[in-house]
Amino acid sequence: MSPHDREQRETRSPLDIDDLLASLDTGESEPYDAESVAAGHRIANRLTRRWAHAGSNAGPATVTPIAARRTSVLAVPGWTEQVRAAASGTAGPLQRVVDRELGIEFVRSATDGRETSIVVTSFGELVSAGDVVRVQIGSGSGRTDLLVVLHTADNGDLVGQIITPAVTMSDDLEIALTPLSSLSGEHTRAVTEAVRTSPTPGRNAWRRIAKHLPADHPVRSAIIDGLR
């Protein structure tokens, strides 16, 4: 996301919340067919059921092997000169890590400016559209969480991307798969930043989620803040 894009966003006139969310369906440059709309409804219904269950008095949920594997963490070392030298065939500032257990490909690359692109592609069965990949920088009080929402690309792949100055090529990272239903009021800042740093397909994925959440849900409010 270039400084020019940020300036354009910051100088836009205030929009009605319904307009922000409805722009997904009416934007001429972002057409959606019936299948895409139906997929959005399925995502929202699944997430709404999860949040409703989390807030109910139901007994403990049964932990399945898939749910257990969702807690796995992938450690990605900083892209140092030593790491770059050990990576055969790598000519530029691009880091690619494939994790078979999580079923993801993680790619970190430097942009022309002061930002870093993170692209995640899922090839496993642990996640579906609407789930989130959490990228953690640091630990303790200095910890920063970046969120990458997954959506179905035109070619059918499950992908997500953010472009942000919050991470560099040299940062050590921890990557984990996170169901969106696990996000709460504690994650509103990370959600807002995720929306702001996502290219158009990712922003539209967040829009689809927000449109089907209760009006007072903190994640919905955070998404709307990111779209302003």
> DSSP states of 111-177 as a string?
-SSS-EEEEEEE-SSS--TT-EEEEEES-GGG-EEEEEE-EE-TTS-EEEEEEESS--TT--EEEEE
> pLDDT tens digits for 172-224?
999 999 887 888 899 999 999 999 999 999 999 999 999 989 999 999 999 99
Q: Is the pLDDT of residue 43 over 70?
A: no
Residue type, 183: L
pLDDT of residue 41: 55
**Domain extent for 49:** 3-56+65-227
> pLDDT tens digits for 84-105?
544 444 445 899 999 998 999 9
Q: Is the pLDDT of residue 128 over 50?
A: yes
Question: Which of the four pLDDT bands, split at 50, 70 and 90, describes residue 163?
Answer: very high
Range 24-42 average pLDDT: 50
**Three-state DSSP class for residue 27:** coil
pTM, entire model = 0.69
Domain count, the chain: 1
Which 8-state DSSP code applies to residue 198?
Answer: S
Q: Which residue has the higher pLDDT, 129 or 23?
A: 129
pLDDT of residue 38: 56
